[in-house]
Amino acid sequence: MSDCPLLPVVGGDLLVPTVMGSEVRYTNLDYAASAPALEVVAEHVVRVLPLYASVHRGAGYASQVSTSVYESARVIVGDFVGARPGDEVIFTRNTTDSLNLLASIVPGETVFLDIEHHANLLPWVEKGGRVVVSADTIEQTLLRVDEELARRPAALLTVTGASNVTGETLPLRQLANIAHRYGTRLAVDAAQLLPHRRVNLQLQGIDYLAFSGHKAYAPFGAGVLVGRTDWLDAGPAYLRGGGAVTSVSVEKTEWRTGPSRHEAGSPNVVGVAALARAIQALDQLDETEWTAHEAGLRQRLVDGFDQLPEVRVHRIFSDSTDPVGVVSFTVDGVDSRLLATYLSAEWGIGVRDGKFCAHPLLRRLGITEPALRASFGLGSTDLDADRLIEAVTAFLRVGPTWNYDLVDGHWEV
Ligand code: PMP
């Protein structure tokens, strides 16, 4: 049973208007897009705001305070993800930024899977990376990765930790073992994994890890790339500007090493402080309770959908066992946009509809039209799953009770 939130989130009791004119409690089933901020995070942001200033900019009081907030966030994040001594923690805008930064410094070829979010696909496609087509099972997919790395060396293997479409997780330790056998490093897109599971670079053999604050219970603005220093210090500065250099003349620039090499410009101190506070809250969670909370919610939804023959829940692998709280589904003969609009307008339920920035994966799953995705997190309860099942059931029985029209790409009632 997950009958109460594991941690309170901002907007947990938010009332939203329905098209019928009544108000209902907002049912947030869209954690995978952006998770709501934890209440402790919002309180922390209010404390940080009065004294924020650009970091590493002299002896001004606010700048010193901000620098200390910013640099201690690096330590908090590095500790949480089990960074090795000397690993760099670089603050970026989000996972997309982190993976593009990684792509800009990789000294060789990259191998990636066809199940990735576009953020962990397009940077590698652009660089002529080699794709491994996933098989029906994870086991066979690992064999294919092994064969590809044996066939031709690669500098990097990059995989998602948890699929943003199906929530399925990949066996990272095994992937690291395969990669390292061929002298290849492992990068993990943890945008969907870190908000749901403990991740540990040392224990899991991960060389680079990317994630976003806004999916991990902090508001928008900050992302992270953590990983081995040598490539990061040898590669070109990701952004060119103030803070990334030790000396500049028009003829010659000396670039810093360390995180600041890639963090030119005034960084998002408030975003980073929020992210670090969220990480501290995740660090306090009992791991078993955390996993059980979400597994229970996910199972409750899937069991409810099993009672509705028109609803199809999608999965990539027939042997996956440990998915996070992300469930994608389609309903036979039903336009996903119409159903998502109905859920929102008549029930105050927020799900995601679309192709989830994972077009190759949707094709691989045989989904040709947009799909729907429900996702859970720390603020979710059984009631959220139950309301979605009830609403989809009502939709299938009676359909929308209001008339929705598609006007310029938006549904109007
Ligand atoms: N990877 C995965 C698995 C994701 O789910 C997302 C966000 N949907 C991203 C990368 C990109 O994250 P961001 O938009 O925060 O850069």
**Residue 1 burial (10 A CB sphere; 0-12, 13-18, 19+):** exposed
Residue of 164, 168, 194, 197 to test ligand 1 pocket, by largest number of atoms within 8 Å of CB: 164
- The angle, 0 to 180 degrees and rounded to 10, between the axes of the packed helices 382-398 and 287-306 is 10
**Residue 371 burial (10 A CB sphere; 0-12, 13-18, 19+):** buried
Residue-level pLDDT, tens digit, the chain, 413 residues: 788 999 999 999 999 988 888 899 999 999 999 999 999 999 999 999 988 888 887 788 888 989 999 999 999 999 999 999 999 999 999 999 999 999 999 999 999 999 999 999 999 999 999 999 999 999 999 999 999 999 999 999 999 999 999 999 999 999 999 999 999 999 999 999 999 999 999 999 999 999 999 999 999 989 999 999 999 999 999 999 999 999 999 999 999 999 999 999 999 999 999 999 999 999 999 999 999 999 999 999 999 999 999 999 999 999 999 999 999 999 999 999 999 999 998 999 999 999 999 999 999 999 999 999 999 999 999 999 999 999 999 999 987 777 766 566 555 66
Q: Which atom of ligand 1 is closest in space to residue 98's alpha carbon?
A: 16
Ligand 1 mean position, distance from CA 94 (Å): 8
Q: Which atom of ligand 1 is closest in space to residue 95's alpha carbon?
A: 16
Q: If DSSP codes are grouped into helix, strand and coil, which group holds residue 376?
A: coil
Q: Where are the beta strands (DSSP E) in 184-303?
A: 185-189, 208-212, 223-227, 245-248, 253-255
Terminal-residue alpha carbon distance, the chain = 37
Domain coordinates of the chain in residue numbers? 15-30+286-412, 41-284
- Measuring CA to CA, which residue among 165, 168, 161, 116 is closest to residue 329? 165
Fold of 15-30+286-412: Aspartate Aminotransferase, domain 1 (3.90.1150)
Ligand 1 mean position, distance from CA 178 (Å): 25
Q: Residues with beta carbon inside 6 Å of ligand 1?
A: 94-96, 117, 119-120, 160, 164, 189, 191-192, 212, 214, 357
Question: Distance between CA atoms of 368 and 362, rounded to whole angstroms?
Answer: 7
| ipTM given for this complex | 0.99
Question: Catalytic: 4?
Answer: no
Ligand 1 mean position, distance from CA 32 (Å): 9
The active-site residue, picked from 357, 383, 394, 396, is: 357
- Measuring CA to CA, which residue among 215, 220, 99, 104 is closest to residue 160? 99
Q: Which atom of ligand 1 is closest in space to residue 93's alpha carbon?
A: 16
Ligand 1 mean position, distance from CA 120 (Å): 8
pLDDT at 409: 54
Beta bridge partners of 354: 371
Across 327-356, b (16+ Cβ under 10 Å) vs e yields bbbbbeebebbbbbbbbbbbbbbbbbbebb
Question: Distance between CA atoms of 297 and 186, rounded to whole angstroms?
Answer: 31
Fold of 41-284: Aspartate Aminotransferase; domain 2 (3.40.640)
